[in-house]
């Protein structure tokens, strides 16, 4: 009797197994838990996003997804091709005399016979302000040593002939805004919000303390270019787990990341007993007084790099920096301004080992590359610091890949070290002149 029961149970098990096998393997019968095309399309539509940094104030091309995670195909249709094409290319911006133009971008997500649509409202940024001049933030390379590592401003009407503000005296005291009593490498940025400006600088006084160590950076914010709030970030103290042995924190810069809707601060880091010079980055908090998180590795150039400056053009981020080349024994044989490119600030970055400056083959050292666009023009200016010769020169480009071969010199009544330039309006120039004096007369009319 027991044997019969055992066989019966075994027979039932085999029969059930055959039924399951037939249901899951026979042609035309869907496998258990297998996603249908409709489910895949629904999931891909749910995951599809246009980040708020693009949608709320568009002045870039939109990086549009064309393939879903489940293999669905995504086609886009612009509601107004005169502003944004169906490929996401921005053609023009909203007039300043009204509300921002809103354009609907419709996504058609399909796989097999399954189709779903999803729409996004995009607000086009206003046309650029009527820029009339340029502001140069720098520290001084000559004069009284104790006064050199201080923030100064210069102004120009044409970007090539410069006047120092405040008689080339500091516009902010380093003793008030830094931990070391000195600042170097100031970077100035016009923010996404109108009447917002951001600065970061290396917190370092090489004149007082030498080159052995500097703890971090200084962060500043203003609504008028005159009054600046400030904060200090000491990486070793703030992030002791991974930065307690930091040696250098050099040449910070800030750029707005529309993919995150935040300001990204990036800089070169070197650690004690480690020769590498790598770029690290972190998003600034909303008050621009510190970081949201511990800085992370951003870009590691093959032979190390310093003095990075990033600019966006036509869907590409161009990362300029001082790089170098080493031989098989690790000895540096050449250095100068190089470039890497990426489609996201998070990388990956494709490094181009071509030297862009006119001096790398002459073994004349340059650093502090800074890139900016001329007002009402498609011309870009790549400037750099010939720091051993107290000269500041530049080369020009229309595409950021090819630059004029022969360097040109600025005309100026100061000796800047590693600075940066932004465009300013006539009203801003007048405000600067009222506070510090020195603005060229043609900007005050």
Q: What is the DSSP string of 5-51?
A: HHHHHHHHHHHHHHHHHHHHHSTTSPPTTPPPHHHHHHHHHHH----
Which residues, 6 or more positions from 425, have their beta carbon under 8 angstroms from its beta carbon?
A: 129, 130, 131, 132, 133
Please give the Cα distance from 217 to 184 (Å, whole number). Answer: 9
pLDDT band at 24 (very low <50, low <70, confident <90, very high): very low
pLDDT higher than threshold 60 for residue 8 = no
pLDDT, residue 113, reads 96
What residues are paired with 383 via a beta bridge?
Answer: 370, 394
26 has pLDDT over 80: no
Q: Determine the pLDDT at residue 298.
A: 98
Q: Is residue 317 predicted with pLDDT exceeding 80? A: yes
Whether the pLDDT of residue 427 is over 90: the answer is: yes
Span 280-315, pLDDT tens digits: 999 999 999 999 999 999 999 999 999 999 999 999
Task: Give me the pLDDT at residue 31, please.
Answer: 52
- Distance between CA 202 and CA 308 in Å, rounded? 13
Average pLDDT over residues 323-327: 95
Lowest mean pLDDT among 15-19, 28-32, 335-339: 15-19
Residue range 407-425, pLDDT digits in tens: 999 999 999 999 999 999 9
Residue 413: per-residue pLDDT? 97
- Picking from 23-32, 60-69, 207-216, which range would have the lowest pLDDT averaged per residue? 23-32
Averaged pLDDT of the chain: 93
| Higher pLDDT, residue 194 or 238 | 238
Q: How confident is the model at residue 69 (pLDDT cuts 50, 70, 90)?
A: very high
The answer to whether residue 261 scores a pLDDT higher than 60 is: yes
pLDDT at 5 over 70: no
Q: What is the pLDDT of residue 34?
A: 86
Residue 304's contacts (CB-CB under 8 Å, 6 or more residues apart) are 275, 276, 277, 278, 323, 324
pTM of the model: 0.91
The pairing of strands 246-257 and 350-352 is unpaired
Determine what percent of the chain is predicted with pLDDT higher than 70: 93
List Cα–Cα distances, 269 to 1, 7, 178, 235, 399, in angstroms. 81, 74, 18, 10, 30
CA separation for the pair 360, 419 (Å, rounded): 20
What pLDDT, on the 0 to 100 scale, is given for residue 122?
A: 98
The answer to whether the CB of 76 falls within 8 A of the CB of 44 is no
What is the per-residue pLDDT across 109-156, written as a single tens digit (0 to 9) for each?
Answer: 999 999 999 999 999 999 999 999 999 999 999 999 999 999 999 999
Has residue 23 got a pLDDT over 50? no
Taking the C-alpha atoms of residue 220 and residue 145, their distance in angstroms, rounded to an integer, is: 24
Cα radius of gyration rounded to whole Å, the chain: 28
Top pLDDT among 390 and 18 is at 390
Q: What are the residue ranges of helices labelled H in 199-354?
A: 206-209, 235-238, 240-243
Backbone angles phi and psi of 15, in degrees to 5 = -65, -45
pLDDT at 33: 62
Give CA–CA dist 386/368, Å, rounded. Answer: 9
pLDDT surpassing 80 at residue 184: yes
End-to-end CA distance of the chain: 113
pLDDT in tens, 225-237: 999 999 999 999 9
Judge whether 378 and 400 are in contact, CB under 8 Å: no
Q: Is residue 195 scored above 80 in pLDDT?
A: yes
Give Cα 39 distance to the centre of its chain: 37
Q: Are strands 152-156 and 161-164 parallel, antiparallel or unpaired?
A: antiparallel
Establish whether the linkage from the previous residue to 348 is cis, with ω within 30° of 0: yes
For residue 121, the model assigns a pLDDT of 98
């Amino acid at each position: 009797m027991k044997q019969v029961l055992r066989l019966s149970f075994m027979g039932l098990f085999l029969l059930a197994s055959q039924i399951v096998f037939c249901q899951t393997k026979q042609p035309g019968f869907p496998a258990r838990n297998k996603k249908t095309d409709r489910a895949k399309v629904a999931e891909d539509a749910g995951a599809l996003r246009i980040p708020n940094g693009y949608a709320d104030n568009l002045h870039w091309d939109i990086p549009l997804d064309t393939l879903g995670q489940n293999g669905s195909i995504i086609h886009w249709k612009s509601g107004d091709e005169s502003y944004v094409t169906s490929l996401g290319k921005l053609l023009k911006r909203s007039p300043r005399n009204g509300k921002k133009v809103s354009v609907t971008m419709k996504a058609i997500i399909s796989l097999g016979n399954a189709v779903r649509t999803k729409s996004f409202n995009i607000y086009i940024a206003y046309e650029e302000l009527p820029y009339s001049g340029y502001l140069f933030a720098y520290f001084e390379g000559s004069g009284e040593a104790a006064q050199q590592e201080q923030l100064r401003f210069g102004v120009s009407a044409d970007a090539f002939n410069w006047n120092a503000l405040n008689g080339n005296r500091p516009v902010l005291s380093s003793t008030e805004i830094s931990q070391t009593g000195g600042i170097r490498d100031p970077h100035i940025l016009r923010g996404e919000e109108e009447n917002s400006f951001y600065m970061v600088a290396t917190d370092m006084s090489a004149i007082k303390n030498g080159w052995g160590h500097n703890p971090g950076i200084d962060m500043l914010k203003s609504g008028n270019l005159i009054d600046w709030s400030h904060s200090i970030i000491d990486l070793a103290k703030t992030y002791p787990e991974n930065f307690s042995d930091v040696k250098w924190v050099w040449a910070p810069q800030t750029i707005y990341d529309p993919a995150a809707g935040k300001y990204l601060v990036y800089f070169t880091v070197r650690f004690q007993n480690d020769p590498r010079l790598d770029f690290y980055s972190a998003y600034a908090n909303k008050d621009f007084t510190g970081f949201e998180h511990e800085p992370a590795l951003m870009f590691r150039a093959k032979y190390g790099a310093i003095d990075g400056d990033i600019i966006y053009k036509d869907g590409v981020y161009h990362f300029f920096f001082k790089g170098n080349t080493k031989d098989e024994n690790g000895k540096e044989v050449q250095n100068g301004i190089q470039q890497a490119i990426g489609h996201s600030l998070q990388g990956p970055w494709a490094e181009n080992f071509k030297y862009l400056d006119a001096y790398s083959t002459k073994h004349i050292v340059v650093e502090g590359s800074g890139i900016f666009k001329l007002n009402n023009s498609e011309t870009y200016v790549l400037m750099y610091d010939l720091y051993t010769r107290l000269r500041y020169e530049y080369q020009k480009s229309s595409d950021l890949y090819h630059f004029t071969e022969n360097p040109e010199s600025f005309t100026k009544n100061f000796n800047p070290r590693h600075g940066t330039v932004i465009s300013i309006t006539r009203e801003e120039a007048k405000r600067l002149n009222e506070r510090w004096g020195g603005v060229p007369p043609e900007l005050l009319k």
